[in-house]
Amino acid sequence: MEKRVVRVGLMGFGTVGTGVVRIISAHQEDLQKQTGLGIEIKKILVQDAEKARSIRSMENMLTTDPAELLENPDIDVIVEVIGGISPAKEYILGALEHGKHVVTANKDLMALHGAEILSKAQEKGCDVFYEASVAGGIPILRALVEGFSSDRITKMMGIVNGTTNYILTKMSQEGAEYADVLKEAQALGYAEANPTSDVEGFDAARKMAILATLGFRVPMKLEDVDVKGISSVSKEDIAYGKQLGYEVKLLGLARRDGEAVEVSVQPTMVPKSHPLASVNGVFNAVYVHGEAVGETMFYGPGAGELPTATAVVSDLVTVVKNMSLGVNGRGMVAPYKEKILKDDSQKLSKYFLRIVVADKRGVLAKITQMLADKNISLEQVIQQPYNNGSQAEIIMITHLSSKSDMDSVRKDMEQMEIITEVKSCYRVEGGDQ
Amino acid sequence: MEKRVVRVGLMGFGTVGTGVVRIISAHQEDLQKQTGLGIEIKKILVQDAEKARSIRSMENMLTTDPAELLENPDIDVIVEVIGGISPAKEYILGALEHGKHVVTANKDLMALHGAEILSKAQEKGCDVFYEASVAGGIPILRALVEGFSSDRITKMMGIVNGTTNYILTKMSQEGAEYADVLKEAQALGYAEANPTSDVEGFDAARKMAILATLGFRVPMKLEDVDVKGISSVSKEDIAYGKQLGYEVKLLGLARRDGEAVEVSVQPTMVPKSHPLASVNGVFNAVYVHGEAVGETMFYGPGAGELPTATAVVSDLVTVVKNMSLGVNGRGMVAPYKEKILKDDSQKLSKYFLRIVVADKRGVLAKITQMLADKNISLEQVIQQPYNNGSQAEIIMITHLSSKSDMDSVRKDMEQMEIITEVKSCYRVEGGDQ
């Protein structure tokens, strides 16, 4: 099946779509050298064909009718950069149904319906690649599937949402409050007008579900991910964290002990000496621990027109190489391990606790006794006056404790008369490897 | 060409070879799931078949005769982990001649004779993969060849030698002298009895030649790399660097401006805010800047039995997948761009200069004038008493300057009567992107 030119149907012509067109046209010669074939954009699906575009030369390819791409026998590959679930899902399934290969940047779709899409692709012998769906410009999915194919990955940690990392970095560097930094981020375009999906951790959770599926070869679903966002992180939490040697990050965690796995996204105290602690601003990073390889980390831009478009076009290059070799549909390994989720008693972590108590003699003793009764011991404690000395504030870092014990402690604490308020409770990275 | 089991001939049974055997046997089921084929070690070439081995079960596979692997029709793939140029080169060429695929961890060989080996592989339709040759456990070669296939890489910087990074990290953290730390590193096994290849930068140069060839798709040779080692780095250089906001790293640099390239390995002042500055101890990292993707970095173990063996077995998995698809010999893109090396006037960098001068009025003015005459201006200057005040020490960071101008300034400085000694001169990272 030697063809001189591979013909692409592009769905979506926003920032990423524009980047895809620019890269393909700028690197035509290099791409041809690598793949042996030319790459040509044949049709572009847009919502409004009359809208002014930054790339004028493509105007005659625009269409608002998806069938002109999906049912077009002249199109070999569909590149989907519309985003969202519907109609992207119908388009992609339609493309596969017509035997077209697919490259997508759609994390929402792959996190929710990846299994269905990959199984349709397998049935049709088509490629589906989605490197751009996680950590934009970082080729992390390839690393998991190929670079570590001979290893057993035990832990992945990701700063995979640029908006929240920008906000937490600003809060840390400037001692600013969450609400103020969020407003600033919205003004700068780093956060959306409705920031819920980012700040509540849902975006990061989608990416962690994709990473965990590939890294552990277990079919993880979005609802398997414990999610907590950053909207309740205060500047005091960050300041106390720093004092104790930590930076607060919205950390995706995927961990495997034996065959049991856990995946979460939550604000986490990361030791300053850990390479993830110095990943700042809108940058993303994914830390991977493998039994044989040990510690590795991949760092880069998590979003942006050109980084995301680079990942999309690199996937497209893989599709084109596969076409010229006649081996499409064999690239990704479908998850083949049974999903065994940890229960909360198996999720071990250190915790950061900040509580306000009545400033009475013996309060700290009562609290540590209560923790000891739940098998929780302390690594660090700070007690200091609060509210002009009428109360005290206690900041604790625990040793490893189970999530169930910690949840139960928090419930008990809310009932204890001497405790005025449980201000915050965060996972602390470390102590488990 | 469906086979049930792929049969491997292993050349070398030291630490990496042992790791390869361990990983293949521990992950047999996973490997089979991924590749559809089993992987079996058939023969192991050793120097001494009588020597005691940590893996006893392999004893009946040992041989001292390379022909038992190279001419064995039952062997499909040769894994070479002997190291060095000869006889590894003859073995690999012999394996290819017999139509066997090759996986190697041999940076010396690939840096010096990579072109010849890859061209023989192409002629015979065989795979040659060598991920383990650069930065051990970090899958950086795959990232360059596949992950960034659609981008144009403009700059790569690597901390690619663990021994020197361990020494510089210790010197920085403890204010220790080079010679003392080297001794300690030798005692701990982090440096060899004859450390020349590491400390003089030759090992790093080989890896940078491999990275530059793949990243720029230009056939770089080892002799194209400017090399300077760390044996002359003093604790004072490191202390002044810190004071000015830098860490000293032995940095491999591969940079492209237009079509002209430069590759060097030299002690470099890296700004503390740069992600490479916090890569410490025996860890390696490769920073990649692409026109579209921007900044990315890959971090991990640069050596060690299991990390290196992981990279070797992951390459083996790729060979096996290619065998089951019948597409061997198509994996690596041969360099196709003409090599255009920059001359020294095109190599622009900031520089750190430390000189000792007579403590006379007007000395600094004379020196800055002399620099200005060579188009070199200063970004930072520290002057302070030296040798009990009888002399002065001047530490300077320049703005961007060409290597030729800086070389000429250093020559002139050695002739100037007011300058007692040019203590050190290092490249300073930054200012060029």
Average pLDDT (B102-130) is 95
Average pLDDT of chain B is 93
Residue A379 has pLDDT above 50, yes or no: yes
Q: Spelled out in words, what is the top-level CATH class assigned to the domain B5-136+305-325?
A: alpha beta
Which pLDDT value is given to residue B413? Answer: 94
Nearest-Cα distance to chain A for B273, in Å, is 9
* pLDDT value of residue A433: 55
Q: How far is CA B136 from CA A146, A296, B131, B160, in A?
A: 15, 11, 7, 9
> Residue A124, annotated ligand binder?
no
Q: Which whole number is the average pLDDT over B62-91?
A: 97
Cα–Cα distance for residue pair B237/B248, rounded to 1 Å: 8
Residues of A in contact with B6 (CB under 8 A): none
| Distance from chain centroid for Cα B248 | 17
Among A142, A150, A322, the strongest candidate for a mutation testing the B interface, having the largest count of B CBs within 10 A, is: A150
Q: Which of A291, A295, A306 has its CB closest to that of B293?
A: A306
Residue-level pLDDT at A149? 87
Q: Does the annotation flag B13 for ligand binding?
A: yes
pLDDT band at A366 (very low <50, low <70, confident <90, very high): very high
SS3 annotation, B88-151: HHHHHHHHHHCCCEEEECCHHHHHHHHHHHHHHHHHHCCCEECHHHCCCCCCHHHHHHHHCCCC
Q: Is A298 annotated as a binding residue?
A: no
Given phi > 0 = left and psi -120 to 50 = alpha, else beta, which region is A286?
beta
* Range 193-212 of B in CB contact (< 8 A) with A: none
State whether A314 and B151 contact (CB < 8 Å): yes
Question: Alpha carbon of A167 to those of A171, A195, A199, A234, A285: distances in Å?
Answer: 6, 12, 9, 11, 16
Residue B103 CA to residue B85 CA, distance in Å, equals 15
Please tell me the distance from the alpha carbon of residue A44 to that of residue A61, in angstroms, as a whole number.
6
Do residue B314 and residue A150 have CB atoms under 8 angstroms apart? yes
Q: Tell me what the mean pLDDT of segment A170-179 comes to.
A: 97
- For residue B1, the model assigns a pLDDT of 44
Mark whether B235 is an active-site residue.
Answer: no
Residue A394 confidence class, pLDDT cut points 50, 70, 90: very high
State residue A36's pLDDT score: 85
Question: How are strands ordered across the β-sheet holding B77-80?
Answer: B62-63, B38-45, B5-11, B77-80, B101-104, B128-129
Whole-angstrom distance, CA of residue A35 vs CA of residue B333: 9
CATH of A347-428, one of 3.30.70.260, 3.40.80.10, 3.30.310.50, 3.30.420.40: 3.30.70.260
A325–B330: do the CB atoms touch at under 8 Å? yes
CB contact under 8 A, A142 and B137: no
- DSSP-derived pairing of the beta strands B391-398 and B348-358: antiparallel
- Rounded to whole angstroms, the Cα distance separating A282 from A417 reads 43
User: Quick one: tokens of B82?
Assistant: 């002997």
Q: What pLDDT score was predicted for residue A333?
A: 67
Q: Tell if the CB–CB gap between B310 and A290 is shorter than 8 Å.
A: yes
CATH of range B348-428; options 1.10.10.10, 3.10.129.10, 2.40.50.140, 3.30.70.260: 3.30.70.260
Nearest to B344 by CA among B262, B427, B426: B262
Q: pLDDT tens digits for A127-162?
A: 999 999 999 889 999 999 888 989 999 999 999 999
Does A192 carry a binding-site annotation? yes
Instruction: Report pLDDT for B60.
Output: 87
Q: Does A131 touch chain B (CB under 8 A)?
A: yes
What is the nearest CA distance from B13 to chain A, expressed in angstroms? 18
Residue B270, pLDDT > 90, answer yes
| Residues in chain B within 8 Å Cβ distance of A317 | 146, 149-150
Cross-chain residue pair A150–B31, CB shorter than 8 Å: yes
Predicted ipTM of the assembly: 0.88
The response to whether B18 counts as a known ligand-binding position is yes
Tell me the chain B residues in contact with residue A333 when contact means C-beta distances shorter than 8 Å. Answer: 33-34
Do residue B292 and residue A298 have CB atoms under 8 angstroms apart? Answer: no
**pLDDT number for residue B49:** 83
Q: Is A294 on the interface with B (CB under 8 A)?
A: yes
Which homologous superfamily does the CATH classification assign to the domain defined by B140-301?
Dihydrodipicolinate Reductase; domain 2 (3.30.360.10)
A114 is in an annotated binding site: no
User: Does B15 appear as a known binding residue?
Assistant: yes
**What's the CATH fold of domain A140-300?**
Dihydrodipicolinate Reductase; domain 2 (3.30.360)
Of B222-231, B234-243, B328-337, least confident by mean pLDDT is B328-337
Residue B276: closest C-alpha in chain A? A275
- A213 annotated to bind ligand: no
Closest residue of A to B148, CA-based?
A314
Closest in A131, A150, A330 to B27, CB measured: A150
Give the orientation angle of helix A28-35 with respect to helix A15-26, to 10 degrees.
Answer: 70
Q: Which of residues 136-175 of A touch B (CB under 8 A)?
A: 137-139, 142-143, 146-152
Mean pLDDT of chain A: 93
Alpha-carbon gap, residue B148 to A51, rounded angstroms: 32
For B313, nearest residue in chain A (alpha carbons): A150
Contacting B residues, span 308-367, partner chain A, CB-CB under 8 Å = 309-311, 313-314, 316-318, 321, 325, 327, 330, 333, 336
pLDDT at A382: 93
Closest to B146 (Cβ–Cβ): which among A33, A292, A318? A318
- Active-site option among A207, A249, A350, A423: A207
Across the range A390-399, mean pLDDT stands at: 95
Distance CA B281, CA B165 (A): 6
pLDDT surpasses 90 at B329? no
Tens-digit pLDDT profile for residues B33-50: 888 899 999 999 999 888
DSSP state of A64: S
Residue B39 β-bridge partners: B6
B19 at A interface, C-beta within 8 A: yes
Cβ of A304 within 8 Å of Cβ of B294? The answer is yes
The pLDDT score that the predictor gives to residue B333 is 67
Going from N- to C-terminal start, the domains of chain B cover 5-136+305-325, 140-301, 348-428
Task: Report yes or no: B192 and B200 within 8 Å, Cβ to Cβ.
Answer: no
Q: Which phi and psi angles does A386 have, rounded to 5°?
A: -140, 150
Within the 250-269 window of chain B, which residues sit less than 8 Å (CB to CB) from chain A? none
Is residue B336 over pLDDT 60?
yes
Q: Tell whether A298 is within 8 A of chain B (Cβ).
A: yes
pLDDT at A241 over 70: yes
How much is the pLDDT for A1?
44
Residue B115 in contact with partner chain A when CB distance is under 8 A = no
**Hey, which residues 365-424 in chain B have their CB within 8 Å of chain A?**
none
Among residues 23-82 of chain A, which lie with CB inside 8 Å of chain B?
23-24, 26-27, 30-31, 33-34
- The pLDDT value given to residue A332: 66
Q: What is d(CA A138, CA A301) in angstroms, rounded to the nearest whole number?
A: 7
